[in-house]
């Protein structure tokens, strides 16, 4: 008798598993590169076409597979990493569940070429949607080559959810960097559309980090080294002055496996307490080595979250080691209560040589004579003369002032005679509740708690949020300039060189036309930096790096496809960065200009982010409040 519950076919089960393992091309890159590392490869090459949508190929010189293993590796839960359940708690490899290749083969065209060192011929297997198309012996180099073509060819709905090529490539580079930083001894190469993106030879950890994020990264790093009974901590943190608005350069590795941990991130932030500006994030590259039995890495499908046995001790060790390194390399401020600040050499005299004093002797001086010496300390005489010149005519001026006072106020004469003192009198010309003169100038706006601007209208008053109002004014100004391509630029006297990672430079290159429309002028392009020679009129030279960093942070999750959406996103980001912040004092003129600019906008009611910019309060509403 047939029941309701049935076993799913293998190809359906593989597609369901693929939904967990393969979310985008970067997921395939991660699984294949980790398999290459587990295969003891010393050289790994990643070839990408169309951000992985057309081709993902990983070539390694590892141990390879024989004919039996080459076919069995595409079966579900087939793995060489574990043999029994206890092995799950003593893992020393990247993968272990045996689902990756089966899931990938279910949703793509796969071509596998592999050969072991002792074999003369290798294997070539072609699979399309979990179906074996061909399997034959072939002449192939030692190692393994996986070519994944036409990802999601049989699941068009999943393919439609992929982002633009720039965004998908950024995710691939992220995965590539994580594996490359975890294994600096391996030679990694990355090619996109036959163009070299990374070529990282075997090197030490510091060189590998600098090779990925640019040569300037080396001077930002502060080394960390700590060894305890439960954890060994190695790596680097960045100096506080190089903190950014973004959280891009933050990496945790546990037993050479990249993880994400908000708890450990808080430990780093607490070590930087008092050293960072508001809203800034430090960079760090932390490598933790713990006994495999003390962690559980199988709590998340992507294996980026780990459960530790003793998180509190790990938190304390990590915080103290980072704090110790910052202090050891003179990064953290030091309080020295024994130092006398009065003994410090003034800055202006720091590099000046000491001047030897000179002595002048008057040979004709007779101490028993009646005449004064012809020569004396000339410096002191000149100094006395200079001071005395300040008081020339002071007595006459003072007498004239008191004479005028007596004429203007006769009562002062009486006080002068009674008390024997001379002073100026000041008449009281105002009171607490003085009558308002209609012709007198009255302030039209008032600033409340350096956050709100209050202005009067016929029906009552209007209260404006100064930060949101300024965001609206800047947003519409930037958007208008970018859409009509008439943005004004101001040339910088000294062009700025801004250093970014390769991923950030790729984003900036994609956004270059929109940024030029906004008023930025770029000079010669380099591999690790950009040159800014002109900025919009509302941006100062000191704000350029902040604006671009926050722009990159806002666009980390994706760049809009069409030009108008790009312009809109850039205008919003720049408005957020440059708008006047809460707590900033505004003069009366600045307040009035902000109000005039707000109500000249097309949509003054809301900020670019949909928040209200002002509210009105009528006199009737106030009357109701007082009538209670």
Q: For residue 46, what are the β-bridge partners?
A: 58, 190
C-alpha torsion 150→151→155→158, nearest 10: -130
Is the full-model pTM beyond 0.75? Answer: no
pLDDT at 148: 93
- pLDDT tens readout for residues 193-218: 988 888 999 999 999 998 888 767 88
Is 79's pLDDT higher than 50?
A: yes
pLDDT at 434: 44
Is 190's pLDDT higher than 90?
A: yes
* Structure token pair of residue 574: 């720049």
Q: Which helix (H) or strand (E) holds 311?
A: helix 311-328
pLDDT at 410: 53
Is 144's pLDDT higher than 80?
A: yes
* Structure token pair of residue 575: 């408005």
Q: DSSP labels for 345-381?
A: PPGGGTTPPPPPP-----TT--TTSSSPPS---HHHH
d(CA 67, CA 125): 10
Phi and psi at 235, nearest 5°, equal 135, -155
User: What's the average model confidence in pLDDT over 588-613?
Assistant: 88
Q: How far apart are the first and last CA of the chain?
A: 78
The domains of the chain, with CATH numbers, are 10-200 (3.30.565.10), 206-328 (3.30.230.10), 342-424 (no CATH), 452-615 (3.30.1370.100)
55 contacts 104 by C-beta, under 8 angstroms: no
The residue whose two tokens read 């970014």 is 500
Of residues 573 and 385, more confidently modeled: 573
- pLDDT tens readout for residues 548-592: 887 777 766 555 555 567 778 888 888 888 888 888 888 888 888
């Amino acid at each position: 008798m047939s029941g309701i519950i049935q076993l799913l076919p293998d190809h359906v089960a593989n597609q369901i598993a693929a939904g967990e393992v393969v979310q985008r091309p970067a997921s395939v890159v991660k699984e294949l590169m980790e398999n290459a590392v587990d295969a003891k490869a010393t050289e790994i090459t990643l070839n990408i076409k169309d951000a992985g949508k057309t081709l993902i190929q990983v070539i390694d010189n590892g141990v390879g597979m024989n004919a039996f293993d080459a076919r069995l590796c595409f079966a579900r839960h087939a793995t060489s990493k574990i043999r029994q359940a206890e092995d799950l708690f003593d893992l020393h490899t990247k993968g272990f569940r045996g689902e990756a290749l089966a899931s990938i083969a279910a949703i793509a065209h796969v071509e596998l070429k592999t050969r072991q060192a002792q074999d003369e011929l290798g294997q070539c297997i072609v699979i399309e949607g979990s179906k074996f198309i061909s399997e034959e012996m072939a002449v192939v180099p030692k190692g393994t080559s996986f070519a994944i073509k036409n990802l999601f060819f049989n699941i068009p709905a999943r393919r439609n959810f992929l982002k633009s090529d720039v965004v998908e490539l950024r995710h691939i580079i992220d995965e590539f960097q994580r594996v490359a930083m975890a294994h600096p001894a391996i030679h990694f190469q990355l090619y996109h559309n036959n163009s070299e993106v990374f070529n990282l030879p075997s090197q030490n950890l510091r060189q590998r980090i600098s090779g990925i994020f640019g040569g300037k990264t080396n001077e930002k790093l502060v080394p960390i080294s700590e060894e305890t009974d439960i954890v060994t901590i190695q790596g680097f943190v960045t100096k506080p002055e190089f903190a950014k608005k973004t959280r891009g350069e933050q990496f945790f590795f546990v037993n050479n496996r990249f993880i994400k941990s908000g708890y450990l991130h808080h430990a780093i932030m607490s070590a930087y307490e008092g050293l960072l500006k508001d809203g800034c994030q430090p960079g760090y590259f932390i490598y933790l080595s713990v006994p495999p039995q003390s962690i559980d890495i199988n709590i998340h499908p992507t294996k980026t979250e780990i459960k530790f046995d003793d998180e509190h001790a790990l938190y304390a060790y990590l915080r103290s080691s980072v704090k110790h390194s910052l202090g050891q390399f003179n990064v953290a401020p030091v309080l020295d209560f024994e130092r006398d600040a009065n003994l410090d050499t003034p800055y202006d005299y720091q590099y000046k040589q000491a001047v030897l004093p000179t002595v002048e002797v008057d040979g004709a001086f007779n101490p028993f004579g009646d005449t004064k010496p012809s020569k004396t300390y000339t410096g002191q005489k000149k100094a006395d003369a200079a001071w005395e010149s300040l008081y020339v005519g002071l007595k006459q001026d003072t007498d004239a002032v008191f004479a005028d006072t007596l004429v203007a106020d006769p009562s002062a004469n009486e006080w002068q005679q009674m008390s024997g003192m001379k002073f100026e009198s000041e008449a009281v010309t105002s009171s607490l509740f003085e009558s308002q003169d209609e012709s007198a100038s009255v302030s039209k706006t008032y600033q409340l708690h350096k956050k709100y601007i209050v202005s009067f209208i016929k029906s009552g008053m209007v209260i404006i949020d100064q930060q949101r109002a300024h965001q609206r004014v800047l947003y519409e100004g930037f958007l208008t300039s970018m859409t009509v391509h008439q943005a004004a630029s101001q040339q910088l006297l000294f062009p700025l060189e801004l250093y970014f990672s390769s991923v950030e430079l790729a984003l900036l290159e994609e956004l270059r036309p929109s940024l030029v429309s906004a008023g930025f002028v770029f000079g010669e392009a380099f591999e690790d930096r950009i040159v800014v020679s002109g900025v919009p009129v509302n941006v100062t030279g000191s704000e350029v790096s902040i604006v671009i960093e926050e722009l990159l942070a806002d666009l980390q999750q994706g760049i809009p496809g069409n030009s108008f959406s790009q312009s809109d996103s850039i205008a919003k980001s720049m408005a957020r960065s440059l708008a006047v912040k809460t707590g900033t004092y505004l003069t009366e003129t600045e307040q009035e200009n902000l109000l005039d600019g707000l109500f000249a906008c097309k949509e003054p009611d809301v900020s670019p982010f949909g928040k209200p910019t002002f509210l009105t309060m009528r006199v009737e509403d106030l009357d109701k409040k007082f009538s209670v």
